[in-house]
A and B are shown apart, each in its own frame.
Chain A
Amino acid sequence: MTKLLSVNNLSVHFSTGSGMVKAVDHISYELNAGETLGIVGESGCGKSVSALSLLRLIPNPPGKIVNGEILFEGKDLLKAGKEEICDIRGNKIAMIFQEPMTSLNPVLSIGQQVREPLMVHRQMKKKQAAAEAVNALKKVHIPDSGKRVSDYPHQFSGGMRQRAMIAMGLTCAPKIIIADEPTTALDVTIQAQLLTLMKQLTLETGAALIIITHNLGIIARYADRVNVMYAGRIVEKASAADLYKHPKHPYTIGLMASVPKLDQDVKTRLQPIEGQPPDLADLPEGCAFHPRCRYRIEQCCAEAPQLRNISDEHEIACWVDVK
């Protein structure tokens, strides 16, 4: 498989009232053409920040990319000029945001917003781009799209708004689509519809997809490979199938155990992960997960583990080999 994107040693820091927060701390991962990568973790673990930094959309101040490189088509995006990065945004790498209510501009019509990338990146005239926008909406199954294209976001339902977001993201046939919690605000049936649609559209265009979510079910169903993040670091990397069969990092094991399964006995109790996610401004020594970890050994409190291979294509950042 061809490597499309590689992120090396990326660190993003935020300066806050309570000090420097390492939102993303030396993460590295790769994305191959056409695959779907899931990034999973609790809120505040740095998954959205790591995605936003790919397009350098971290608000600065307070955020700052302090270290690393993001190689895309042989170029380091972190060193690209303003023009260059604008040329990539929405064109080669597109982003689909969570909260379609607030992520669409309330004073511009859906059509005006969907056609914008085409006018910027394909130098299309307004008329042609408008016609394309109708097509794009048709592709995401907006009924009566020729008419609804001139509607405003408040006239769309939540699901339709997210479809419009997807249409907007896909207009320029990007190589990478980053979907940041694309279905968080929607109900379950619509979630499934949208994800299937997104997956299908990416298969058609051969685009790679990065899905960021806290929902393990979505990852299991749609991702090829998974990065599990905790407190700004990647703690486990594996293929989706492998991860579900053999989760190895204690945090991943804990996550799996805390999700109810439909086929499980009613009397089985869910096992939550004890304690709270750590304060990123005041991380514990050693492995950030050790205060909540059932398997911790002395070394965990002293030294942070690096990612290591435990089998082919399966890495964990843990000192312990959980059986």
Chain B
Amino acid sequence: MKRYLAKRLLYALLILFLVSILIFSIARLLPGDPIQAAAMMNMDLANEEIINDLRAQFGLDRPVHVQYAVWVKDFFTGEWGTSFGSGEPVFEMFFRRLPVTLELFAGYVFWSFFIGFPLGVISAFKRNTVLDAAITSTAIIGISVPVIWEAIVLIYLFSVYFQIFPPSGYVPFSENPMENILCMIMPTFVLGTHTAGMYMRYVRSSLLEVLGQDYIRTARAKGLKEMAVIMRHAAKPAMIPVVTVIGIDWGYVISGSFLVEYMFALPGFGRMGIDAIAARDYPVIQATLLIVALFILMVNLAVDLLYGYLDPRVRIK
């Protein structure tokens, strides 16, 4: 297990290095630079001398590899630079927005797990019944509905028609817990719909496959009660394919969360990232991408470790 863990960690670090190079280059491969972008908006700056001064001030006149090294060093010391757009320190911008994104993500996990898993299990045990058909159809609808459409329908229903939830905006939990939860219910639900449907499908098929295995019959032949058969013998192997999907979905949900933050006007860092790309705000773009990459890497690492825990064939060669 220790060797397995060390190997996974090493891979993660290597990937992080490659990703950081990619992120650093992508921003620089976009046509134009931030000074030009600013100059286009503000004609006073459209002066060769001022532009060069500004480039020197932001370190943009230095060779690319030096810029990279400086960026990496600064990233780890919390010096994420200042936004070219607002002049605010990027580090602070992030940590102000982090609670919003984290809350959105926590809600997403809540909905997707608490809808997807129980429905999947029920559906597997009631296989080929009307209930199973109903759950499976609901899951397919959940998977197919576009986030934008669902958001609009929910806003119309619950904000305009029934007026239960606010249509958009964010209230911090520390300010008003009740209102905070009310304003997060719809965005998190919209974000979790697709994934809940996926989980339901995977849990159902995975559980059915495991329950058909010979070793489940062996467990029954030993005299184990049905509950013990499921908890001790079926649960772990049935989770293996589901964990794969969780890993993929958690990476994928980031793009969904950017969209949802926009739709519901939540000040998370998805919005910040999109605004930054429009303004070619290098420090913010880079920090956003790196945080996202770091998150995905961590999820993948967690998935790998979970595999090791669930499946001894992965852990012990």
User: At the interface, yes or no: A72 with Cβ under 8 Å from chain B?
Assistant: no
User: At the interface, yes or no: A97 with Cβ under 8 Å from chain B?
Assistant: yes
User: At the interface, yes or no: A57 with Cβ under 8 Å from chain B?
Assistant: yes
Question: Are B223 and A117 in contact, CB atoms less than 8 angstroms apart?
Answer: yes
The residues in B between 222 and 264 inclusive whose CB is less than 8 angstroms from any CB of A are 222-225, 228, 232-233, 236-237
Question: Are A89 and B233 in contact, CB atoms less than 8 angstroms apart?
Answer: no
Q: Determine the interface band of chain A, counting residues with CB < 8 A from chain B.
A: 20 to 34
The B interface is mostly helix, strand or loop, or mixed, namely: helix
Among residues of B, the one whose C-beta sits closest to the C-beta of A92 is B223
User: At the interface, yes or no: B214 with Cβ under 8 Å from chain A?
Assistant: yes
User: At the interface, yes or no: A64 with Cβ under 8 Å from chain B?
Assistant: no
Asked whether A95 and B221 contact (CB < 8 A) given A105-B237, A106-B311, A152-B316, the answer is yes
Question: Are B310 and A88 in contact, CB atoms less than 8 angstroms apart?
Answer: no
Question: Are B218 and A97 in contact, CB atoms less than 8 angstroms apart?
Answer: yes
Complex alpha-carbon distance, A109 and B312, angstroms: 9
Question: Are B215 and A105 in contact, CB atoms less than 8 angstroms apart?
Answer: yes
User: At the interface, yes or no: A120 with Cβ under 8 Å from chain B?
Assistant: yes
Q: List 30 interface pairs A-B (beta carbons < 8 Å), by A numbering.
A: A57-B220, A86-B224, A86-B225, A88-B223, A89-B223, A90-B222, A90-B223, A91-B223, A94-B221, A95-B218, A95-B221, A97-B221, A102-B213, A102-B215, A103-B215, A104-B215, A105-B215, A105-B218, A105-B237, A106-B237, A107-B312, A108-B232, A116-B222, A116-B224, A117-B223, A120-B228, A152-B312, A152-B313, A155-B316, A165-B218
Question: Are B222 and A168 in contact, CB atoms less than 8 angstroms apart?
Answer: yes
Chain B residues within an 8 Å CB radius of A86: 223-225
Asked whether A120 and B215 contact (CB < 8 A) given A106-B311, A155-B316, the answer is no
User: At the interface, yes or no: B28 with Cβ under 8 Å from chain A?
Assistant: no
Asked whether A103 and B214 contact (CB < 8 A) given A86-B223, A120-B223, A152-B313, the answer is yes
Complex alpha-carbon distance, A250 and B57, angstroms: 101
Chain A residues within an 8 Å CB radius of B298: none
Complex alpha-carbon distance, A86 and B237, angstroms: 23
Among residues of A, the one whose C-beta sits closest to the C-beta of B218 is A103
Question: Are B222 and A120 in contact, CB atoms less than 8 angstroms apart?
Answer: yes
Chain B residues within an 8 Å CB radius of A87: 223
Complex alpha-carbon distance, A88 and B222, angstroms: 9
Query: Which of A97, A104, A107, A117 gathers the greatest number of chain B CB atoms within 10 Å?
Result: A107
Closest 8 CB pairs of A and B: A90-B222, A90-B223, A89-B223, A102-B214, A152-B312, A105-B215, A95-B221, A103-B214
Chain A residues within an 8 Å CB radius of B126: none
User: At the interface, yes or no: B217 with Cβ under 8 Å from chain A?
Assistant: yes
User: At the interface, yes or no: B219 with Cβ under 8 Å from chain A?
Assistant: yes
Chain A residues within an 8 Å CB radius of B236: 107-108
User: At the interface, yes or no: A246 with Cβ under 8 Å from chain B?
Assistant: no
Chain A residues within an 8 Å CB radius of B220: 57, 89
Chain A residues within an 8 Å CB radius of B237: 105-107
Complex alpha-carbon distance, A87 and B222, angstroms: 9
Among residues of B, the one whose C-beta sits closest to the C-beta of A172 is B223
Chain A residues within an 8 Å CB radius of B311: 106-107
Chain B residues within an 8 Å CB radius of A168: 222
Chain A residues within an 8 Å CB radius of B217: 57, 97, 103
Chain A residues within an 8 Å CB radius of B218: 95, 97, 103-105, 165
Query: Which of B215, B228, B311, B316 gathers the greatest number of chain A CB atoms within 10 Å?
Result: B215
User: At the interface, yes or no: A55 with Cβ under 8 Å from chain B?
Assistant: yes
Among residues of B, the one whose C-beta sits closest to the C-beta of A152 is B312
User: At the interface, yes or no: A154 with Cβ under 8 Å from chain B?
Assistant: yes
State how many angstroms separate the Cβ of B212 from the closest Cβ of chain A.
Answer: 8
The residues in A between 47 and 96 inclusive whose CB is less than 8 angstroms from any CB of B are 55, 57, 86-91, 94-95
User: At the interface, yes or no: A121 with Cβ under 8 Å from chain B?
Assistant: yes
0/1 string, B277-317, CB within 8 A of A gives 1: 00000000000000000000000000000000011110010
Contact pick for B313, options A103, A106, A116, CB 8 Å: A106
Among residues of B, the one whose C-beta sits closest to the C-beta of A102 is B214
The residues in A between 86 and 137 inclusive whose CB is less than 8 angstroms from any CB of B are 86-91, 94-95, 97, 99, 102-109, 116-117, 120-121
